[in-house]
């Protein structure tokens, strides 16, 4: 059985950058303690555990933001913002309550946040193609002063209505399915020709989604490693599954099932942007062992 590893498997630049920053501040005695991350740094339990061992814990917003900062201002020395980004209110409240922030927001996400703000300031109706409950999308929505419309499904696209006299700007979650965004953009533009479409899918996502289509076509089986909570990993699996039904979504090497590989000559392995290298290596190693036993 031939095993092909994706060129793009594992941490993207944004996640790697966030992880490196956290590793650095955890060793820096000048950074105020205790250090907390707002939510999961990445959607991967192993990485969250590893960070905790460095002394950096996770905290979640509970209740209204103002109350949350009122509560944490005495308990948190430094608050790390993840690569997904946040809305403007958190920056203001951290400043007001004297909580030090370490901001690891991915520069590509910052670009979309700035566009959201600029379009809102120009009285443009913003449409976000993305999952409204995803952390990154919530942040972008807040930069649009919570005035954006979400397109998450085909149904949303059918029921989509805006004031025809208003300018429209389409932005997307950086990890959205490229084909869905393109389809949505064409339909919105057809109905509202005044629409401006901004390609805000990040380059890494674009490369990964293009590659997975080839891998799904050229291999008998595709293994996608990632957490079900990870939007970009789920997207890779959905795209692969549409082309090759023998696409399996796993979190760890133990989930590999020998029955999948009967008569399999070629297997491709890829991993979402939040999957660390050590988990990918474990999967490849297990596949090699299984291969030697076939
Ligand atoms: S997927 Fe793209 S936008 Fe998101 S963190 Fe990674 S590089 Fe940044």
Last residue of a domain, one of 197, 218, 241: 197
Which positions are catalytic? 136
- Count how many domains the chain has: 3
Determine the 3-state secondary structure of 1 from DSSP. coil
In this structure, the answer to whether residues 94 and 17 fall within a common structural domain is yes
Establish whether residue 56 lines the binding site of ligand 1, counting it when its CB lies within 6 angstroms of any ligand atom.
no
Establish whether residue 41 lines the binding site of ligand 1, counting it when its CB lies within 6 angstroms of any ligand atom.
no
Domain that includes residue 188, residue range: 108-197
Considering only CA atoms, which residue is closest to atom 8 of ligand 1?
14
Residue 159 has a pLDDT of 87
CA atoms within 13 A on the CB side of 197: 16
Residue 293 has a pLDDT of 83
How far apart, in whole angstroms, are the C-alpha atoms of residue 54 and residue 280? 22
In this structure, the answer to whether residues 118 and 155 fall within a common structural domain is yes
Q: 269: domain CATH number?
A: 3.40.1010.20
pLDDT, tens only, 138-148: 999 999 999 99
Counting runs of H as helices and runs of E as strands, what totals does the chain give? 11, 12
Among 8, 106, 177, name the best residue to mutate to test ligand 1's pocket (greatest count of ligand atoms within 8 A of Cβ). 106
Q: What is the mean pLDDT of residues 89-113?
A: 97
Establish whether residue 202 lines the binding site of ligand 1, counting it when its CB lies within 6 angstroms of any ligand atom.
yes
Among 41, 43, 108, name the best residue to mutate to test ligand 1's pocket (greatest count of ligand atoms within 8 A of Cβ). 108
Residue 62 has a pLDDT of 85
How far apart, in whole angstroms, are the C-alpha atoms of residue 239 and residue 217? 11
The answer to whether 176 and 235 have CB atoms below 8 angstroms apart is: yes
Atom of ligand 1 nearest to the CA of 18: 5
Q: What is the mean pLDDT of residues 187-198?
A: 96
DSSP collapsed to 3 states, 22-54: HHHHHHCCCCCCCEEEECCCCCCHHHHHHHHHC
Longest dimension (CA), the chain: 66
In this structure, the answer to whether residues 77 and 22 fall within a common structural domain is yes
pTM of the model: 0.95
Instruction: Give me the phi and psi of 267, to 5 degrees please.
Output: -125, 135
From the list 135, 130, 177, the residue with the least C-alpha distance to 156 is 130
From the list 47, 71, 98, 50, the residue with the least C-alpha distance to 59 is 71
pLDDT, tens only, 215-271: 999 999 999 999 999 999 999 999 999 999 999 999 999 999 999 999 999 999 999
pLDDT, tens only, 9-37: 999 999 999 999 999 999 999 999 999 99
Residue 294 has a pLDDT of 75
How far apart, in whole angstroms, are the C-alpha atoms of residue 35 and residue 59? 10
In this structure, the answer to whether residues 168 and 119 fall within a common structural domain is yes
The proportion of the chain whose per-residue pLDDT surpasses 70, expressed as a percent, equals: 100
The answer to whether 94 and 103 have CB atoms below 8 angstroms apart is: no
């Amino acid at each position: 059985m031939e095993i092909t590893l994706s060129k793009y498997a594992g941490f993207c630049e944004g996640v790697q950058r966030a992880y490196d920053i956290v590793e650095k501040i955890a060793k820096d005695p000048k950074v105020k303690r205790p250090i907390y991350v707002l939510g999961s740094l990445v959607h991967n339990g192993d990485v969250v555990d590893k960070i905790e061992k460095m002394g950096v814990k996770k905290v979640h917003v509970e209740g209204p933001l103002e109350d949350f900062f009122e509560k944490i201002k005495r308990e948190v020395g430094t608050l790390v913002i993840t690569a997904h980004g946040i809305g403007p209110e958190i920056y203001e409240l951290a400043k007001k309550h004297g909580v030090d922030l370490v901001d690891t927001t991915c520069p590509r996400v910052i670009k979309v946040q700035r566009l959201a703000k600029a379009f809102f300031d120009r009285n443009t109706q913003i449409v976000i193609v993305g999952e409204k409950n995803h952390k990154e999308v919530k942040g972008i929505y807040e930069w649009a002063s919570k005035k954006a419309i979400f397109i998450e499904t085909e149904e949303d696209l059918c029921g989509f209505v805006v004031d025809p006299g208003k300018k429209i700007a389409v932005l997307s979650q950086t990890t959205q399915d490229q084909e869905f965004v393109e389809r949505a953009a064409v339909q919105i533009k057809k109905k509202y020709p005044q629409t401006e479409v901004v390609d805000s899918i990040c380059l890494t996502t674009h490369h990964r989604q293009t590659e997975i289509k080839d891998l799904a076509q050229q291999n008998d089986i595709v293994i996608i490693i990632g957490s079900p909570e990870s939007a970009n990993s789920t997207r890779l699996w959905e795209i692969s599954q549409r082309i090759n039904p023998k696409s399996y979504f796993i979190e760890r090497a133990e989930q590999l099932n020998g029955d999948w590989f009967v008569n399999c000559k070629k297997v491709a392995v890829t991993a979402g942007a939040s999957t660390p290298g050590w988990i990918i290596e474990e999967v490849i190693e297990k596949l090699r062992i299984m291969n030697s036993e076939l």
